[in-house]
Structure 1
Amino acid sequence: MTPRSFATRQFRLLARSVSQPVRAGIAGGMARLWPRLDMISVKVRHWWQLRSLAQQFATAAAAVLLCGMAILGFWVSERIKQGVVHNSAASSALFMDSHIAPLVQELATDGEISQSYRAELDRTLTHAAISNRVSAIKIWRTDGVIAYSNWHEKIGLKFKPTPNFTRALGGVISAEFEGQYHEQDSRERALQGPLLEIYAPVRDRSTGRVIAISEFYEAGASIKVALDRAEAMSWIVVGLVTLGMMAALSGIVARGSRTIEEQRNRLTAQLTELSMLLADNRELSQKVRRLHHRTAIINEKLLRRVGADLHDGPAQLLSLALLRLDGLVPLVSPKPPEGSGGEGVQASAKGAAGCDLEKIRHSLQDAMKELRQICSGLALPELENATLADVVRMAVRAHEHRTESRVTMNISELPLVVPGELKTCVYRFVQEGLNNAFRHAQAQGQATFARVDAGKIRIEIRDQGPGLGVTVEPGTRRLGLSGLQDRIESLGGTMEIGPAVDGGTCLVAHFDLDRLTTMDAEHD
């Protein structure tokens, strides 16, 4: 390994060992700084959200307008400064050119100023009109050599051209107030007070060609006073205009903010009133549901009582009448005639009475059978310990037993625990739907479906009868369906009836599980 490569390697190791602690320190500092910045930003956002619309606008507008005022103020001040400096430089250059240009015309031919003209320039600078105005002067040749200076030791020196010198060489008057320091300006910068440095082209009187550059320094105390006054006035005007804009805009936004705040307060009051009305409506709705629930219970009890009364009253009387009729049958039975014609007439009369009695007996038996079916339909089986699927099966089996018909069942998984009111409602729904299918469709294609679909219990009764043709309107439904619909809606469900897809009639009930749970909790 060469000494140079060894030194390079050692330098890299040293830089790496130094940079690692530095990087660690920066990372640690940033890790401590970020939580503070985040906390500050949270506080600022919280403060901003607590402000009204007018305050937010005033804050944002103040920031924007102040920035705009600063930019505009600096721009206007700079333009005023440039204008004052340029005007002063132009007038001074014109004044000096009238005194200097005739004395330096020989630069166009000889390239230097003779001693006699230098002496004349010295005398010119001692005139009161010039000495009170100009502190120093230099006459430059176009190649950057000083042809004349009131400090004679600089004559013949050559310096690097400055930007102002270059612009003046192009025929443009250039000036700079308290400008940058240059090497050739060391004596001039030592003078007291502010100075206006002016570069003006000196032209050949015959051709107009630039033959020299005059550089002179004018006392700038009066210019500085004028600049300060103009800058102050510009800032005052810009500030007043900005304040006026802020006041006008803030007034407009404040008025709009008050209007918005009043509307917000009115909306808040209306929203509060609406919330109270909604709460009252919810309470009334709950009361209506509770009344529906109690009405359903009372109706169910009434149906059971009517069924029991029918069974214990008219059904027993009809049974007694049938027993009495059975006892009268032997008395009216006709006997074959054995003797006279009178006995034949009497036997014929008994036969006619026996036929009428038999008709009455059959009518009473039919009435008894129908009354027992009505009683069995009014009375419910024990549903308390049954699941919802068992309730559907019990209703279907009772219908099959009562009508001696066949019903197709398709029961999917149903909730195991449901309110007792729902069990009663579902039993009555299946019972009424199958009764209608048996009555109007002559038991053709009776089917029952039960499942849970999208959070809702769906119970469906179908048949393959002649059908309805169109959906039945709520006002045209029969008494049984209307009462069934009221019972279903009291549990927050819905009922639909219409034609089935494959013909016949379809009766559907939906129950919302979440709503049933809420209603069950309210009842508890």
Structure 2
Amino acid sequence: MRLPRPLLVSVLTGLMVMGSMLWLGLFITNSYRDLQLRALADAGGNYVDGLLAPMVLTAAAGGDAATDPADLGERLTDLSRSLPQGETLGVLRAWSPDGQLVFGSLEGDTAGTHDVDEIIEVAEGGIMWELVLDEEEAEGAPIAAPFLEIYVPIRDEVSGHTIAVGEVYRDATALVRERHRVEAAVWGGIGLATLGLLLVLGLTARQSAKLRANLHRERVVTAQNARLRAEAENARTEVTLANEMVLNVVGAELHDGPIQTLALGALLSGTDQRPLPDGTSALGLIGSALRQLRSISDGLILPELADLTVTEIVKVAARRHQDSTGRSVALDLKLPSEALDTPRRTCLFRVVQEGLRNAQRHADGDGQEIRCWTENDAIRIVIRNDVDPSRAPAKSPGGGLGLRGMRRRLDVFGGTLDFDVENGRATLDATLPLGASRRI
């Protein structure tokens, strides 16, 4: 399974932190061990230089000092008294270049001979040391483990040649105890520091995840706002166009209908008021103009829909259309007795009204029929009529202003609207979701 990129980065960073802290701990402890051993080795070298070297050099010059263990013993006793409490000097030995024991501070020391290769290695390389912790490795040693074994070359001051090798055994019990104490403190500090860094890393990763989530939500909201602004701008444009269309239609209806009729009536009223040969009179023209004005106003004024069911709303819209156009509308309504909220009642009425008006405008209202039923908790509205292909509305991505106005009304409730012309029949298919407004 592939980890998400932010989580993978956090895991890798945590591993790097733990690896770095592990390296730091090992570096500190190893450096401390080296410094600790070097300090004790230097001290052992001082013992050789201050005690064994003068005696070996005197013996090499032909004196007897190197054969006087009592004198060396007194010096060792004095030196032991000056050491810190709990520390002991250990055992001192001097070896000849051929591996023979020249002197040993341990009474009755029977070490015998020493490996010549190690003597040569010390003579050529200088001071050397070894920490022995295991009893098996300490077999044959003059003191018990743990101890530090130090080799120091003793050189002739004139020629510079190595004339002997001093060996010092120092008890390492205090050294090991101090090492454990220091290393425990170091690793404890490293562990706490690592835990703190991992905690900070975890908090940082969590905060980063929150920031990324907030940034994503902000981008989503920004995109939604941009889309809503675009839709609002389109809606304002469409409303402006629709208003202009309504004004143009109303103006044309008034100019071509009632105004022309009233103008003719005014002309007749200015004469001898006798009817025209076809029987048209001034009063008849005025009555016709009033009927025309009433028909126009019926299309503009919304009827009282508050107490009407879904079926009754559709019937009112169809009846108004029949009264104003004289064209019959076939109804096939299979709707339960329901009441909708005011916005949905208005939307249903206007969709049916505009659908019938489009049919009248483009096909003279021939073969108009309305079918309504409920489907998937929504009202399905299908309006069909015959259409002359030469007068059919041109199809466009958004439809005409009438279609766009109906679609805009339905979009508010999550509804849909489709319009198609096929085989001489125009079909308007709309859905109006009932939603939370449904009251049975």
TM-score, length basis structure 1:
0.38
Higher helix share: 1
TM-score by length of 2: 0.44
